[in-house]
Chains A and B, each alone.
Chain A
Amino acid sequence: MVRLYPNRCQLVGSAFISGFLISLVRSFIIDYYLFCSFQIHFVILISRQGKVRLTKWYSPYQQKERSTVIRELSGLILTRGPKLCNFVEWKGFKVVYRRHDSIILVILNLYASLYFCICIDPDDNELEILEIIHHFVEILDRYFGSVCELDLIFNFHKAYYILDEILIAGELQESSKKTVARLIAAQVNVTERCVSLAF
């Protein structure tokens, strides 16, 4: 997989050549991958203050790279105004993000938003991904009863269980909310049975 890192060289000369190549590739959008890698590379949930609430990596990012990614994307996304589009271009990838404000917190006038960010390949279908985010949020809402940031802090493990029923290998696994809800309930059942047997 080709990752493009724009060269920050200041001199027009060398910038010309590297920039020329980069802009050629970007302009003609013929990304040739050896294997179809239209996939989600990672999912990140961050709060308005930049605190990470969930991360899931579907492509190999080492520990240091992960911190860098989170820092860079936080800087890019958290500073975007509300009336702008939901897509950001970053290092040859696209990041689709959506801001989520819990209804309850808005009523209480508390300033807390969650940003759901998904990184995809530049040729992938952006609106489809935006709706995957919404699908995930709806399932979380259904499970927690209007999900807010506090739910995801104290029950982050449940968010991971739910995410694993929605995405695998960076692809959508199940688009029926009813089925996902049923599967999570079954998991809870098994766990509770095991716990009660243990006592």
Chain B
Amino acid sequence: MALTGMRGLSVFISDVRNCQNKEQERLRVDKELGNIRTRFKNEKALTHYEKKKYVWKMLYIYMLGYDVDFGHMEAVSLISAPKYPEKQVGYIVTSCLLTENHEFLRMAINTVRNDIIGRNETFQCLALTMVGNIGGKEFSESLATDVQKLLLSSSCRPLVRKKAALCLLRLYRKNPDVINIDGWYDRMSQLLDERDLGVLTSVMSLFVALVSNNVEAYWNCLPKCVKILERLGRNQDVPQEYTYYGIPSPWIQVKTMRALQYFPTIEDPNTRRALFEVLQHILMGTDVVKNVNKNNAAHAILFEALALVVHLDAEKEMMSQCVALLGKFIAVREPNIRYLGLENMTRLLLVSDAQDIIKRHQAQIIISLKDPDISIRRRALDLLYGMCDVTNAKDIVEELLQYLNTADLAMREELALKAAILAEKFAPDLSWYSYQFLHQFHIICSDIFQM
């Protein structure tokens, strides 16, 4: 990655930046593209080293927004370069420029496979990364077995295994048959015992995908997930490098809780109790701190825990704790938390008991409907729509219609539709309904005639 030999690239970038206007830039870019095209035509005389320079320039031009409709072959051909610097460029530019169904990719499969099964660890990493990013169905069929071997091999270093885990995830998404369920519940169970937290981060993503399609096969992994949460929650054996602003690997915690949401119940009482202890600790122990990033990470875990509590259909007390928390969140100044509070309250509506408790916050939600942030307004609208029933329909519909007068264009359509649906569904009597309908119709017509 040294800039030796990349001086041509720096000069080109400077030239482009020094262009006074778009026309000049276009001229400069076209000149360079013409130059590259000529050099590529004369391929026999081009060394891998020179190809590398041109391929980087191509990528830069592509990022500027210009169409680069040639040179893909050269980028892919760099993948077979014998030395690391050129090979790396080949892999990376290919994964930026090409999509999974590109015909040239097919031609690279053998080379990629050789890199994966070969002994050069750096080449393995390059290949696994590219296949993990843009591998398609054909890659899946040819390479899944080899990638699996790397993931499960104890002689491979964590660096390779974590890439293999995510590469396998991609191949599985493209072709689920590559993972033979019968062998995998034991293997998955073993993989969850992984000590290296980098590998565990990747393995957990793989696990979430597998379990989302087939819970039956992975029941024995459930207690392991809870153990992982316990260990991380207590900050046990967590190396400093995996602690994010004092929080032990928040991403693994979030993913593990996500995985647990796919299990319909937890039958073993010990496991259930252990999990609820962890969740209780998260619910009660997450404070608002000054450091934004620590706050975000802690709340990321909190919101996932909330989702898990709702899914497990916990006891009444825990549920009311959740709603109380959310009620607090929708009124804070911090817009992210307000947004997430509203969103999670909407999710809570799926649980039948929560509706009444949520209705107590109606006033605050209506305030959010008029928030300066359109994202928050949308969440508030969804929530009002979802929490509407016969007791509060009149208020909510009238509120929505009143807001329709002043709402911005982006919101109007949805606002009008939702108000219309609610009015029809919950109309207490015909005269109220006709008034609302005509009122709305009047607003919409005046909109249309003003356009």
Contact = CB atoms under 8 A, between A and B. Distances in A.
Given A161-B1, A175-B197, A191-B1, A29 B88 contact: no
Interface in B358-401: 372-373, 375-376, 378, 382, 385-386
A130 B250 CA distance: 12
B300 A131 contact: yes
A137 to B, nearest CB: 10
B108 interface: no
B51 interface: no
A61 interface: yes
Interface stretch (B32-40, B182-190, B416-424): B416-424
Interface in A71-93: 81, 83-89
B258 A38 contact: yes
A195 to B, nearest CB: 5
B198 interface: yes
B13 A85 contact: no
B417 A54 contact: no
B241 to A, nearest CB: 4
B250 A128 contact: yes
Interface in B323-367: 335-336, 338-340, 346-347, 350
Main secondary structure, interface of B, reads helix
Interface stretch (B161-169, B277-285, B312-320): B161-169
A160 B92 contact: yes
Contacts of A16: 417, 420
Interface string A20-52: 100100111100000111100000000000011
B373 A38 contact: no
Given A60-B101, A125-B303, A164-B92, A27 B2 contact: no
Contacts of A61: 99
A100 interface: no
B159 interface: yes
B63 A191 contact: no
Contacts of A55: 63, 96
B339 A179 contact: no
Contacts of B258: 38, 125
Contacts of A87: 336, 339, 375
A12 B444 contact: yes
Nearest to A26: B382
Contacts of B296: 127, 130-131, 134
B256 interface: no
B60 A156 contact: yes
Given A55-B63, A154-B13, A174 B297 contact: no
A114 B183 CA distance: 47
Interface in B20-36: none
B379 to A, nearest CB: 9
B375 A88 contact: yes
Nearest to B292: A134
A52 B65 contact: yes
A125 B1 CA distance: 34
Contacts of A70: 65
A141 to B, nearest CB: 13
B413 A131 contact: no
Contact of B202 (A15, A62, A173, A195): A173
B2 A171 contact: no
Contacts of A63: 67
A169 B100 CA distance: 12
Contacts of B335: 83-85
Interface string B204-236: 010011001100000000000000000000000
B1 to A, nearest CB: 5
Interface in A104-134: 125-128, 130-132, 134
A125 B304 contact: yes
B237 to A, nearest CB: 15
B378 A89 contact: yes
B416 A12 contact: yes
Given A89-B375, A168-B166, A187 B1 contact: yes
Nearest to A80: B373
Nearest to B202: A173
B166 A192 contact: no
B169 A171 contact: yes
A129 B339 CA distance: 15
A12 to B, nearest CB: 6
A160 B293 contact: no
A78 to B, nearest CB: 14
Contacts of A84: 335, 372-373, 375
A175 to B, nearest CB: 5
A56 interface: yes
Contact of B250 (A56, A86, A131, A168): A131
B414 interface: yes
Interface string B51-76: 00000100110011101000000000
30 contacts: A15-B413, A16-B417, A23-B382, A23-B414, A28-B350, A28-B386, A35-B172, A57-B96, A60-B100, A61-B99, A86-B336, A127-B296, A128-B251, A128-B300, A130-B336, A156-B59, A157-B6, A157-B89, A161-B1, A161-B92, A164-B95, A168-B132, A168-B167, A168-B202, A169-B167, A169-B169, A173-B162, A175-B197, A175-B242, A191-B1
Given A38-B258, A128-B304, A175-B244, 8 more contacts: A20-B417, A23-B385, A35-B173, A52-B64, A86-B336, A127-B296, A168-B132, A168-B170
List 8 A-B pairs, minimum CB-CB distance, nearest first.
A36-B212, A127-B300, A85-B335, A169-B170, A168-B132, A168-B166, A176-B241, A19-B417
